[in-house]
Amino acid sequence: MPLNAKSLLRKFLIWRYKHVSERQFIYMLSILVGFLAGMGTVVLKNLTHYIRYFFNLYIFKDYQSSLYFILPIIGLLLVYIIKQTWLKKHIGHGISTTLHAISKLNGIIPRYNIYAGLITAPLTVGFGGSVGLQGPAVSVGAALGSNAARLFHMNTKTRMLLIGCAATGAMASMFKAPIAAIVFAIEIFTLDIAFTSLIPLLLASVSAVVTSYFFLGTDVLLRFELIDKFQINDILFYIVLGLVTGLMSVYFSKVFFSITNFFKQFESRAKRLVIGGLAIGTMLYIIPPLYGEGYGIMNNLLKGDHLAAIGETPFSLDLSNIWIVIALLFGITIFKAIAMTTTFGAGGVGGVFIPTLVMGSALGNAFAKVINNIGFGFHVSESNFTLLGMTGLMAGVLHAPLTAIFLIAEITGGYELFVPLMVVSTISFAITKYYVSHSIYTLKLANRGELITHNKDQNVLMMLEIDKVIETNFVILTPEMTLEHILKNAVAKSSRNHFPVVNEHNEFLGVIRLDDIRHMMFNTDLYDKVNAESLMHADAGIINYDEDSMNDIMMKFKTSGAWNLPVIKGGKYYGYISKSKLLSAYRRQLLNVTH
């Protein structure tokens, strides 16, 4: 930051401390962060729109089928070049990266996340990558919120709150759904819903929505006006749809993790690009509706125009046959998850939120068409079931049933479908939760013990950094050391009362405590007869640096009753953690996140 800018900032902060209370300033920052998140979303959407618009020009009309194969590969190649030559940093999935920053980095998000997503996500999606913009929008907004908090010297708790405000703003701006945006931030980021944190979320949501309306007008991504009312006679169909969307959510999650693991086996990013690019190009050539985010599919299905939703295919199919249409809609449902994950595997940048909605819309519409054409005289609203399918997939895949309910209810402009929304989302979430314990966003974090929850004690423990509580200033012994050597070179020169014993490979063998040798310290006859190997014994427990979370470490202290435990890193002795130091660090962190 230039010297003049630093001086101005310092003067502003001094003025703020004198004239603006902490709470008022947080309200001001939440409005600012909501505006910035809204602007980030507007930029993402516009850049993507103009890239698509360019390839929809008349000069490309005769090559559309070929472009479906070529463009995604070009987009992924451009993203690869930018990552390799300019950014030279990893760009993770937006919401997962933000959750990790909250749980392990005290809400500190590097500045490059602001512009990395703004550049790479439009290239991925605009060129046809089968992913969404919601994740990058949250990532950009969260980075803006985190860095705004750091700029104005806000504490950890406020930094976390502003990240939540940014996520709220991104969601509100993307869908023009301010209430659902608040629910999303609370449900996905497990934010505290106390009154003091709710007001900033409201302010950020309103600020972002107003920004979106100002720059994008009244146009919305999902255009729908509820016409068909809730019918109690359809309740059985809602239950069955809940079951179907639950099973499809399990499929979505399993496909995501399987394909992700498949691409992980290739260390070379270039190989991932080639394999993934060819695969996604082939899928989009065969099934053109998979191209890009897929808002056209959702909007056309909501309007009842399934022919426009499916579009042109490279095969001569009789789309007047409703069962072929149903099969194609099911095909979109099945392959959208594969195309999305393959785009990620090839190095693309995007999100899973909107592809989930696309899958749900196709599945719900196909489900309704089956009911209406099966020949038993039933008739249900295809547009309503399209919405319900979106709700079920969102509740299951994202593990966010409340967000699913409120988003769809807000999009429809009313709550006429509230009961079926609740039925479908609840069943879908329950089924998915049974088979897939964590969502796409949170599984890796949960496996590493880094997932933030509503358990504040666990959250504080998770935020602790293990390196800051490990002590390494111990005198190390080897098995052949004599008692005399131990007394003169360890006990006499150390303030510690325990000494780790390691072999020539620095592997931990055991420990000798002062109490173990106190009774023989002045018996000189034993100085040359007793060595460390005969004196050492196993410790009460061992901490594995590479595997144990801070919660695991605390449990080991609790179960062992020990006050000091050795740490093993990569199979080698690394140091000790004392219970007193761990508790002191816990108390400091607790103060950081609660004040």
Tell me the C-alpha distance between 565 and 466, whole Å: 13
Q: For residues 121 and 256, state if they share a domain.
A: no
Q: For residues 195 and 260, state if they share a domain.
A: no
Coil, strand, or helix at residue 569? strand
Residue 58 is inside which H or E element, if any?
none
Residues of the chain with pLDDT below 70 are: 1-3, 57-66, 92, 94, 104, 190-196, 218-228, 314, 413-414, 444-463, 590-595
Name the domain boundary from 401, 423, 456.
456
Tell me the C-alpha distance between 370 and 325, whole Å: 10
Question: 569 has which bridge partners?
Answer: 572
pLDDT at 339: 92
Instruction: State how many domains the chain has.
Output: 3
Coil, strand, or helix at residue 498? strand
Q: Determine, yes or no, domain membership for 227.
A: no
Q: What is the CATH number of the domain that holds 559?
A: 3.10.580.10
Residues 372-404: tens digit of each pLDDT: 999 888 888 888 899 999 999 999 998 889 999
Tell me the C-alpha distance between 358 and 300, whole Å: 11
What is each CA distance from 547 to 158, 372, 576, in whole angstroms? 30, 54, 16
What is each CA distance from 167 to 12, 119, 139, 176, 525, in whole angstroms? 27, 19, 8, 13, 72
pLDDT at 465: 74
Q: For residues 189 and 236, state if they share a domain.
A: no
Q: Determine, yes or no, domain membership for 224.
A: no
Q: For residues 205 and 115, state if they share a domain.
A: yes
Evaluate whether 171 touches 134 at the Cβ level (below 8 Å).
yes
Residue 125, Cα to own-chain centre: how many angstroms?
A: 19
Name the domain boundary from 456, 488, 518.
456
Q: What is the CATH number of the domain that holds 117?
A: 1.10.3080.10
Q: Determine, yes or no, domain membership for 152.
A: yes
pLDDT at 61: 58
pLDDT at 332: 92
Evaluate whether 363 touches 388 at the Cβ level (below 8 Å).
no
Q: Determine, yes or no, domain membership for 563.
A: yes
224 CB contacts (<8 Å, ≥6 apart)?
Answer: 299, 302, 383, 387, 411, 412, 413
Residues 117-153: tens digit of each pLDDT: 889 999 999 888 888 888 889 889 988 988 888 888 8
Q: For residues 489 and 448, state if they share a domain.
A: no
Q: For residues 465 and 452, state if they share a domain.
A: no
Q: For residues 441 and 528, state if they share a domain.
A: no
Hey, CA dihedral for 375, 361, 406, 226, is it positive or negative?
negative
Q: Determine, yes or no, domain membership for 474.
A: yes
Q: For residues 447 and 462, state if they share a domain.
A: no
Coil, strand, or helix at residue 574? strand
Q: For residues 194 and 266, state if they share a domain.
A: no
pLDDT at 483: 82
What is each CA distance from 37 to 106, 158, 284, in whole angstroms? 20, 17, 31
Name the domain boundary from 190, 216, 242.
216
pLDDT at 290: 87
Tell me the C-alpha distance between 416 and 387, whole Å: 12
494 CB contacts (<8 Å, ≥6 apart)?
Answer: 474, 475
Question: 510 has which bridge partners?
Answer: 501
13 CB contacts (<8 Å, ≥6 apart)?
Answer: 152, 153
Pairing of strands 572-578, 470-471: antiparallel
Tell me the C-alpha distance between 132 and 343, whole Å: 11
Q: Determine, yes or no, domain membership for 226.
A: no
Q: Which domain holds residue 322?
A: 232-456
438 CB contacts (<8 Å, ≥6 apart)?
Answer: 399, 445, 446, 451
Length of the chain measured in residues = 595
pTM of the full structure: 0.79
Q: For residues 168 and 243, state if they share a domain.
A: no
Tell me the C-alpha distance between 128 and 56, whole Å: 12
Q: For residues 450 and 512, state if they share a domain.
A: no
Coil, strand, or helix at residue 476? coil
Q: Determine, yes or no, domain membership for 236.
A: yes
Pairing of strands 470-471, 498-502: unpaired
Q: Determine, yes or no, domain membership for 405.
A: yes
Q: For residues 444 and 513, state if they share a domain.
A: no
* Residue among 170, 171, 120 at smallest CA distance from 143: 170
pLDDT at 368: 94
